[in-house]
Every structure is written in structure tokens, then in C-alpha cells.
Homo-oligomer: A and B are copies of this chain.
Amino acid sequence: MTKHHLPATPSTVHWGYFSKTLEPVLTIKSGDSVTVETITHHANDDYDRMIAGDTEAEAIFLWTKDAKTMRRRGAGPTEGPFTHGSGEGVGVHLLTGPIAVEGAEPGDILEVRILDTAPRPSANPAYAGRFFGSNPAACWGFQYNDLIEEPKPREVVTIYELDMTAPASVQAVYSYRWTPQTDPDGIVHPTIDYPGVRVDHTTITRNDSVLSGIKVPARLHFGTMGLAPAEAEFVSTIPPNYTGGNMDDWRIAKGARMYYPVAVAGGLFSCGDAHASQGDSELSGTAIEISLNGEFQFILHKKADLPGTVLEGLTHPLLETDEVWSVYGFSVANYLSELGPDHQTEILKRGSLDTAMRDAFRKLRRFLMTVHGLSEDEAISLMSVAADFAVTQVVDANWGVTGSIRKAIFAGR
């Protein structure tokens, strides 16, 4: 096993999209491990705490009237005139990668073992060694059109600090209401409609009395991890899909293994959108968005070797932890192939837990029948008495329901 280190630099990150057209920034062999640095796309919500002094973060976020390091942000158009900016923010997550795995081909499964996760400390001497993240309650959140206090609607950003003293926890530091922000190209952002816009703190009012005394256990994880799909050249990072992506399940954490179908040669793994904590639903539209390093080991399972294993017939992401196997139901199981050429806009109309529950049921049934050799009737009875379905997220266009079955119940089989 070779150990690699992949820093987050302007040449190793891509913003807002997965793409089979990207050249790999690293090519590895099956069995290798990689420590991948990721930087949160919300770092500019508090430049001082999350960017200042961090050479690579400064370079990635650099955007002046004359220069914009990461021009394309999203899978949208890159020729103006722009409503929001190049890429149009059709996809928002800053991802590190892609990593190619030698020999990976469509039909194979890539296993990603999450060996460790570690936060990236603030490089600002004023906050040396401390860890910060941002939780926007955004316009795509479940609450946005259902607020009770004035003014409405509104977006609110809450900055959290992560304390890694065991057991790791997070506490709010301060919050502010989003104000229209003008980017260096002169485009005004009345809402959080384009990633990486630096918030001018002279325009906002800090609320330092927020969630006082409340301490939340940390759940370090990557919200977005996955492979490049085959169906389109540039694919928004927002909707999760059959190759993974923006799954936003906090259980995809240290100690877990994720299995992803390979759709293009090399697989092309990217990750980012790291979270210090998140609840099932990611209600406000985001978690505590933070910069994490992830140590991953990659195992390639060739198509011919899948029969008779837990991966037989797998056409979607699968989670394995010490306790459970989990499948992910989506509002639209494979929106890229099901929704036609306008899939990027069509999927925005399809978010529903009802169809996600349907998809989770079907995926878990298939898993129990194919992998565990149950009849359909056995699978359905077992699901009713022993499988748990949770609301993964209601904010990523393609909403999610996670279906989990405990591994221990099969111990005697």
C-alpha cells in the first residue's frame, strides 16, 4: 500500500461539478491510501477565521477585479453574460480531485474506506490551532419559505467552533443575517446564490449571543464524495446520484466504507463539502461547513469478482459500517438518465421524500434478495421488523431517505 498526500491547491480542486472530462490530479493503485485535503466552499463566510493566512485557501478563493483563480463554479455556462457568475453556481461544492484508480472501468465498484478525518486549523495567528465552520440557513433550506419571525424570507449564517477535545463538540460563536454582497465583477448577490463570494463584514451585524450554553457532539464527515458520472460532461454537485456525490449522510464517517459504481475509466473520485456536524435532514440547507482532511483507502472491485459478494448487482452507493449496511433512496434514482437533457433544472422540481422512500425500499429489497438470498416475502417482513429508514436530506434537490439494516442480525446465517 502506497500512501499519498493530495493537498488542496488551485490545481487540485474543482468547484461545483463532477466531470469525466477532468484530468486526474493523482493516479493510484487499488489498495493505496490518500490523505486528501479539502477546503469548505463556505470559508468566505468568515474570511478571517477560515482563509486568512492559509496560503492555499487564499489562492483558491482569490477573486479580484483582475483575477479569479477558480473561474468556473458550477456545471452551468462559462460564457457570459452571467446572472450569478461563471458556472452560474449550478453546483456549489469545492471538491478536491479527481483521483483515478488504475484499471477502474465501468461496471466495477470502488470501495472507499474512511480511515480518518481531521480538521484544518485556522492559519490566522489570531485563531491559531482553532477550527471553524459555517452553517448558513440558506434560500434552498427547508425553512426558507416557512418562517414565522420577521423579516422574511431571510438567510442567516451561524459560525461554529469545533473543539477536538474528546469527545469532540461544536458550539456557535456568532451569527449574522446575509446582506446583499457585491462580488469583484460587480454582480450583486442578494441571496447566497453563488459560492465563494466573500462576505464583507462591514455590511453585516454580528450577533454574539447565539445558542449560548449549547454544545453539540461533533460528527465529522464529508457531505460530498463520489465518482464522475458518465451521462454528462459537467454535472452539478448538488443532487446526489448513482455515483454518490452530495449524499450528506453523517454516518459516512471515520471507520465507514462506501461503495460506488464506477461509471467512467479510472472512476475519478472527488470529495469535499466537509461537515463538523449535521442532523438527519440538513434542514437549513447546509451543515456546519468546515475544512477537513480525509485519509482514505481505495479498493477496486472488478466486475467479474462481484458475484457472491455484498457488491453483487450494485448500481448505486452503499454504506458499510461496523453496525449496518445502508442504501440511499433518492427522489429520482438516476436523474441524469431519467430526466432527459434538462436534467439539471428538472431535478429541482422533483424533491420528495415519498419517492425517495420508494427508491430506498426498492434498493434495500434488492440488497436483501440478491446479497442475502432472501425471497421477496422474507425481505419485506425483515424490512418491516428490522430495517430503519431515516430522512437523509431535504435540501439537495434530489432528496434522500437512508434505509439501514443491521449486520448482526445475519450473524447466524
Chain A residues proximal to chain B, CB less than 8 Å: 135, 137, 141-143, 146-149, 156, 158, 160, 170, 172, 175, 210-217, 276-288, 352-354, 357-358, 361-362, 365, 374-378, 380-391, 394, 401, 406, 408-413
Contacts and interface: CB of A to CB of B under 8 A. Distances in A.
A135 B172 CA distance: 46
In the complex, which of the residues A148, A149, A217, A381 has the most CB atoms of chain B within 10 Å of its own CB atom? A381
19 contacts: A158-B378, A158-B381, A212-B413, A213-B410, A213-B413, A214-B382, A214-B410, A214-B412, A276-B385, A277-B385, A278-B384, A279-B386, A280-B388, A281-B384, A284-B381, A352-B354, A354-B354, A389-B391, A390-B390
Contacts of A380: 137, 141, 143, 156, 283-284
Nearest to A388: B280
Most B CB contacts (10 A, CB to CB) among A170, A276, A375 go to A375
Contact of A385 (B147, B216, B376, B378): B216
Contact of A214 (B279, B286, B391, B413): B413
B213 A142 contact: no
A280 B146 CA distance: 27
A412 B175 CA distance: 20
A386 B284 CA distance: 11
Contact of A286 (B142, B382, B384): B384
A388 B281 contact: yes
B384 A283 contact: yes
A279 B383 contact: yes
A389 B156 CA distance: 22
Contacts of A361: 142-143, 146, 281, 283
A389 B280 contact: yes
Given A353-B353, A357-B142, A387 B215 contact: no
A149 B365 CA distance: 12
Contacts of A354: 352-354
A387 B142 contact: no
A396 to B, nearest CB: 13
A281 B276 CA distance: 28
A283 B390 contact: no
A283 B362 CA distance: 11
B386 A216 contact: yes
Given A288-B385, A386-B277, A376 B170 contact: no
A193 B388 CA distance: 27
A391 B357 CA distance: 9
Contacts of A408: 217
A295 B52 CA distance: 60
Contacts of A409: 214-217
Contact of A137 (B156, B280, B384, B386): B384
Contacts of A158: 377-378, 381
A214 to B, nearest CB: 6
Task: Give the most central of A147, A215, A410: most B CB within 10 Å.
Answer: A215
Given A286-B384, A361-B146, A381-B137, A401 B391 contact: yes
A123 to B, nearest CB: 24
Which of A149, A212, A279 counts the most chain B CB atoms within 10 A? A279
Given A148-B376, A156-B377, A217-B409, A281 B382 contact: no
A142 B381 CA distance: 12
